[in-house]
Amino acid sequence: MLNLLRKKFPYFDAQFAEQRREISRLHSEIEKKNIEHLSSLGVLKNKLQENEKVNEHLLVRLYQIQEEIDKPSQREIDAVSQCESLGKDLEKVRIESLEKANQIASLKREIQNFQQSLAVLKIEADGINTKNSEMTQNLIVMKSSLEKKNLELEKRVFEKLENANLIKELELKLNESERLRQSEIKSISVENERLLKSLHRAQEELENIYIESKGYKAELDEYLKKWQKLEARMPNYLDVGSVKIKVGNQNSQDELHFLIDGYQKGSVKISSFTFSLQDLDGNMGISIDHSSQANYLYPSQVAGQQSELAKFLNLKNDITKKIDAAINVIEFSIRSKWQEIDIGASFDPVFWNATLIKFISDYKKLPSVFRYDYAKLKMEVNNVDYENVWIELHRVGYGSQFIPKLEVRIAGAMITPGQFSRFPKIEIPLIDGIEKPFNSWFPESSDAYGQKLEFRFDLDRRAMDAQAWTKLAATDMNLCLGLIGALPRVIEELKNDKVLISRPWENWSELMLAVIQVINAVRKPKTSVTSNDALPVKPIDQPDELQVPKPSLKKSSIQGYTKKNKITITKTKR
């Protein structure tokens, strides 16, 4: 068993041997020290005995001298001298005896120290023996553990031997699969070579095609340049793939149904759409993509009926774009005398032309309206004397202008406790802090959120700062006026969508209505222009107020649209 443990754990055997050698060495050193001290003690004892003999001899001589003192004087003198000499010798012997006694005491102390060291070494040896016994116990435990593991290993080996046949079968299958894999690799290599050759041929063909396409691209670029020149010379040019008309009758109301494919005018392209026209007592209405009866818009009734006005104002951008396209298609058809158009057997151009021309005229008289698809609250700012709500308007359209996203901040300055602001602001920042929202936008001021165009108002004095307005182009000025007019609708939409802010939405709505009243109060129309004319702006130095003409339509300023009349800016005295 011991030999087995030594073979399994040679490190512990070497460690035990080393510890035994160390204990033997310590015992031998202690014995040597004891022998040396004993020999030293014998020498000192011999010297003490010699000194005692000398002392005895000196004492005898002293007695002899004392006897001789009583003899004649010369002999006394000699005796005295001898006594003195003997006294000196005795003192020397005494000093030597003291020195020897000190040496003996020192040797005794050394012996005591060695005895103490020996006791410590014995304690250490006992500890080593204890550790040896503990290690022996551990070895016994490890031996039992090893025996158990050996049994387990024997079991596993037996199991592996039992599975030897299965392993051989698996090896045979593995060799067979390797052979098949090598065969597949060879076939794949052949196929790869074939594909590589095909790829080279295809690459050569692609290079030839690329060279040919470069020539085609040059020709296409040349045609595009000619087409752009043609569009510049003929801005009203309209291209339509096909137009089909069907006459229908529903509820004694005459209707026309149009199917348009491949519409393009300028940058506006519509692949396909439908619209219907309905004649109601001489007033033509239009509906896009077969909408319901309630969605027909009658342009001639927008100015007189609140329901038609609301319907017109709530049209989305994609609907108005298709209505504009429908108007263009009808104009094109009338000018071309309905040639190359599938009008059907029941459509009579002579009967419908007058009604359609009146319908086109009524629609073109409608003012431009600020439209957007949906509004979203971006953030809200609440300071001690300043607040704003930052709103994003998506897919904004006004006249011919279209903006994918427009950001506006409705702000109130100089807010006092218990009273909302009397100094509102309309702030138009860069889109996402990067892009200008329209061409003549400029950084009128800036804050922690970046640059912005700012319009300021004073409700108590019913005045507005016109400095920023004078720098805007006419189209952009009308866009901003339309934006301000649409803000009450935007606020109402956010309120209906349950968008939460710290201040009631009614406060902001009232503030914007007051801003619109201020704008209307300072309007002074100068001249009227047609709806297709540009809106000129007459700049002046340091204007105090902006004068904007009122539209002829009812509630135009509240609802957010302006008649396309001429706008002029004048400086008024305070």
Residue-level pLDDT at 457: 95
d(CA 230, CA 211): 29
Residue that finishes a domain, picked among 343, 366, 389: 366
Residue that finishes a domain, picked among 310, 334, 366: 366
Q: 134 with 211, same domain?
A: no
Q: 420 with 359, same domain?
A: no
Q: 19 with 155, same domain?
A: yes
Q: 29 with 138, same domain?
A: yes
Q: Is 439 helix (H, G, I), strand (E, B) or coil?
A: coil
Residue that finishes a domain, picked among 366, 391, 414: 366
Q: 247 with 228, same domain?
A: no
Q: 218 with 294, same domain?
A: no
Q: Which of 221-235, 312-326, 496-510, 522-536 has the lowest mean pLDDT?
A: 522-536
pLDDT tens for each residue of 500-529: 999 999 999 999 999 999 998 886 554 332
State the DSSP H helix or E strand holding residue 104, giving kind and residue range, or none if neither.
helix 73-162
State the DSSP H helix or E strand holding residue 360, giving kind and residue range, or none if neither.
helix 349-364
Q: 124 with 14, same domain?
A: yes
Is residue 200 assigned to a domain? yes
Is residue 173 assigned to a domain? no
Q: 433 with 339, same domain?
A: no
Does this model's pTM top 0.85?
A: no
Nearest CA among 190, 152, 121, 531 for reference residue 367: 531
Q: 358 with 378, same domain?
A: no
Range of the structural domain that residue 260 is part of: 242-366
Instruction: Summarize the confidence of residues 351-361 as an average pLDDT.
Output: 90
- The conformation of residue 371, written as its DSSP 8-state character, comes to B
pLDDT tens for each residue of 35-72: 777 777 777 777 777 877 877 787 787 777 777 655 55
Residue 76 token pair? 């006394």
Which residues, in sequence order, are CB contacts of 294 under 8 Å at separation 6+?
none
Q: 205 with 121, same domain?
A: no
d(CA 391, CA 406): 8
Local confidence band at 335 (pLDDT 50, 70, 90 cut-offs): confident
If one counts the domains in the chain, the total is 4
Helix crossing, 505-521 with 474-496: angle to 10°?
150
Q: 226 with 253, same domain?
A: no
Q: Which of 227-241, 308-322, 470-484 has the lowest mean pLDDT?
A: 227-241
Is residue 567 assigned to a domain? no
Is residue 91 assigned to a domain? yes
Instruction: Summarize the confidence of residues 161-175 as an average pLDDT.
Output: 77
Local confidence band at 125 (pLDDT 50, 70, 90 cut-offs): confident
Residue-level pLDDT at 531: 29
Instruction: Summarize the confidence of residues 81-88 as an average pLDDT.
Output: 78
Is residue 571 assigned to a domain? no
Residue 18 token pair? 């080393």
Local confidence band at 85 (pLDDT 50, 70, 90 cut-offs): confident
User: What are the strands of the beta sheet with 253-265, ordered from one edge?
Assistant: 242-250, 253-265, 268-280, 283-288
Is residue 570 assigned to a domain? no
Is residue 454 assigned to a domain? yes
Residue % of the chain over a pLDDT of 90: 25
Is residue 573 assigned to a domain? no
Q: 304 with 426, same domain?
A: no
Question: What angle is formed at CA 45 by the lines to CA 44 and CA 47, rounded to 5 degrees?
Answer: 65
Local confidence band at 9 (pLDDT 50, 70, 90 cut-offs): low
d(CA 309, CA 414): 37
